[in-house]
Structure formats: C-alpha cells, structure tokens
Amino acid sequence: MGKNFSDSVEQALKYIYYDMRQGKGSEGFKLLEEASKAGDGDASCILARCLCGYQYVWEGHHFPEDEKRAVKLYHKSVEQGSALGVLVCMRYGELTPDIEHKMSFANLLEAFGEVMKKAEAGDAFCQYTIANSYFWWDFIRIQGKSKDSFGSQTEYKMYLRENISKCEDLFWKALRGGIYLAANNLNRYYTKGDEDIIAPQPEKAKDIYKIAAQIGYPNLQYVYAKELRQQGEKLEAFEWFKRAASGGEADAWFYLGDIYETGELVSQDNAYARECYEKGMSQSQSAGNKAACANGLGGIYFEGKGVEPDYDKAFKYLSYAYDNGSKWGVFYLGKCCFKGLGTEQDYVKAKVFLDQVDWNSRETWYMLGYIYCRGLGVEEDIKKGVGYLQKAGNLKEAKEELIYYKKTLFGKWVRRN
C-alpha cells in the first residue's frame, strides 16, 4: 500500500499532477478507472476531477470532458467511503443531503480530519483539498457553524479571518509538492484578498509563477513566459516557452513559431516555424491558440515562406482561424476571394473580409475601390470606389485603375469613354 492512498492512486497522482512532464497522464487515468471499478473511492474522486476540464486538470493530458460521468463518480466516491471524495464532492457542489447521508463518516468534520491527516503527512493533493476548504469557506459547513453561531459581526469576521488565512501555507505546500493548481489560488488570494476580511497583498503574488515555473510545471512555465514577454523580457521568455513546449504545453508552440518566423531573437527559420505551428494546431485544446497557429500557417503558405506558395492550404488554415473567432487573416482571405486564389473568385465574399481590415492596407483599399468602381457584387459607386483607390496612394494597381475614371465639370465621378 502507498503511504496515503492505494498504490494505484499514488501512481496516478504522480503521473497526472506530481510529475506531469513524464507524459504519462493517460496511464494514470487508466489506473484510476481500474481502481474505481475495484471499489477505491479515492480513485473515483480523482478520476471525476480528470473529467471536469482545464480548471481541474492539465489540458496537456488530453483527458475527455464528461460532467455527467464526473458527477456520478463524485457520488460514487462518497458511497465508497472516501473522505477525500466527501470534501471534493462538496467543493464541486454535489454533496447534497441525500449523498451526505450515504457517507460512512459520522459527520463532515470526521471526513475533514481524515484528509487533514494525509495533508499533514505530506500529501500535496490533500493539502490542496484542505486549503480549498478554507479558501472557499467550506469550513463553515464542515464545522457546523453559521453567522448565528456568533455573538456579534466582529466575532464572526474574526472566525472567518482565522480560518480563511489557513489556506495560504497549505497552498504553498501543495504547490511545492506537485499541485500546480495551488498557484492560481495563491495568486487570487494575494491579489484580491477576500471581501473585507483578508486584505490584498499584491507584492506577495509577484513571484508565484516564477517559482512554479522553476518547480517544473509546463503549463505554468508557459504562463510565466507570457508574463516575461509582457514585461519586455523577450529572450528569457523565449527560453521558458521552449521549456514549456518540451514538457508538453501545446499552447507554447505558437509563440515559438512566431519567434522563428520573425527571426526577432533567433535566426529566421520558416521551416521550423511551420513545424511549431503544426504542433500547436494538432496538440493544443485551446481554440484561441489553435486559431493563432492556423493564422501562422496560412500566412506562411500564402507568402511562400520557406515553401512554394500554396493558396489552397492558406485559404483552408485562414478560414479555420476566422471561423474560430480570429480576424487576423481577413486581408489574406479577402485577397483569396478577390483573385480566386485557393477558392472560387467571389467579390461578395471578398468585400465581407476586406471590410473587416482595420489597419492602413493599400492593397485592401485598391481591391475595395476596384469592387465599387466596377459594381462587382455591389451596386456600382464610382465616387466611393475612387475614394478607396486614392486612399491606396501610389500603389501601382490603384494608379492604373484610376486612369479609367474622371470627374465631370459638375463634380461627379464617371467612367471615361
């Protein structure tokens, strides 16, 4: 038997939380499934968390999300006699009176005490669970208290402050012991405080993600890299993006691709940039990062950076990004539709994309001018079209198109005969 849990659960915790970089999350998931079926309530509890999405487990494990199954497992963990399951089920909002009645403990305080023993013995997951009981005020229900249990508001606030503050040390122990999630709660605790009970201490939040990155969590190495990037520490950020990506944090691949494509910090390498974007597309579960990588690939194939131009691929990738909320590629998409590159020529669609360009793009103004002056997919409006063509400045195509139009003595723009 393991020190605090069964061998299967302790091995699963190692793969899923304590040593994420091994890339053995799926093995941990299988161990939990087998142990849960065999009646291990702790396994059922942790397996349920694995099914609850990125707020509960690292996206890099690529676990399925299944809330209905998770809820059943939380209930099952309580019925199987897991004290951990009682606290986690309560935190998830699923410890109904009926489920609580089925637990094997005399009361919630007894279950709390069982988990506390494991936390004191050094288990990081239990330390995190107990810290959450304090951080989210579950201790009130656990201890059977209420506001009416105190003689005054002052006494009640003193009670709250005394208990809530216990989360701080436990979160730090959990973070250093292998639970990356503790970093996010510590950051919130320090930056926001807790109503008028715990005052914010933003200075203490400064190095949380740096410490977490140094511990080795790939996802928090990525978070720290973004912090450094925002602070202008681009070279150091680049190093942490590399560590994050090598550890399995798929969202870091976009930033590496961008760095190698622009050649800002390294020798420009469009082939490797393309490889980075492809990894981000295939591995990331974040719609935003997948879209960003798709834009990167679309731009590379459109411009022919390190490859022969491939407008079919460019249009496919850029369309994917656009459909997933990114307007970065609207110029390229507009140009594809305008010229029939990688898709059928369609001036109506071209205008839809080009109208969304919100920067000074001479080619965009030329194409819109051409569309309006010639009435392609829109009602002909030579005056409006000429305005766009003039906005395109000395762009060769715009100047050549302007030759076909003139202003009458009455100030009206018309086509030359």
Query: Looking at residue 411, what is its pLDDT?
Result: 86
Q: Both tokens of residue 293?
A: 């990588």
* Domain final position from 95, 127, 155: 155
Q: Which of 206, 195, 242 is nearest to 222 (CA)?
A: 242
- The number of folded domains in the chain is 2
Asked if the structure places residue 269 within a domain, the reply is no
Q: Which of 238, 253, 153, 157 is nearest to 196 (CA)?
A: 157
Query: Looking at residue 410, what is its pLDDT?
Result: 87
Domain range enclosing 87: 7-155
Asked if the structure places residue 103 within a domain, the reply is yes
Taking a C-beta distance cutoff of 8 angstroms, is the pair 6, 43 a contact?
yes
Which element (helix H / strand E) includes 414?
Answer: strand 413-415
Taking a C-beta distance cutoff of 8 angstroms, is the pair 5, 42 a contact?
yes
Angle at Cα 50 formed by Cα 48 and Cα 55, nearest 5°?
A: 110
Rounded to an integer, what distance in angstroms lies between the CA atom of residue 108 and that of residue 113? Answer: 9
* Domain final position from 155, 185, 214: 155
Asked if the structure places residue 161 within a domain, the reply is no
CATH code assigned at 145: 1.25.40
Largest CA distance in the chain: 97
State what percent of residues in the chain have pLDDT above 70: 100
Asked if the structure places residue 322 within a domain, the reply is no
Taking a C-beta distance cutoff of 8 angstroms, is the pair 36, 76 a contact?
yes
CB atoms within 10 A of CB 77: 28
- In this predicted model, what pLDDT tens digit does every residue of 144-178 receive, in sequence order? 999 999 999 999 999 999 999 999 999 999 999 99
CB atoms within 10 A of CB 189: 24
Query: Looking at residue 367, what is its pLDDT?
Result: 98
Asked if the structure places residue 309 within a domain, the reply is no
- In this predicted model, what pLDDT tens digit does every residue of 240-249 receive, in sequence order? 999 999 999 9
Query: Looking at residue 228, what is its pLDDT?
Result: 97
Asked if the structure places residue 415 within a domain, the reply is yes
Query: Looking at residue 1, what is its pLDDT?
Result: 59
- In this predicted model, what pLDDT tens digit does every residue of 115-150 receive, in sequence order? 999 999 999 999 999 999 999 999 999 999 999 999
Q: Mean pLDDT for each 10-residue chunk of the chain (417 residues)?
A: 89 96 96 98 98 94 96 98 98 96 97 98 98 98 96 96 98 98 98 96 97 97 97 97 97 97 95 97 92 98 96 98 97 98 98 97 98 96 97 96 93 90
Asked if the structure places residue 387 within a domain, the reply is yes
Asked if the structure places residue 375 within a domain, the reply is yes
* Domain final position from 155, 170, 187: 155
CB atoms within 10 A of CB 308: 6
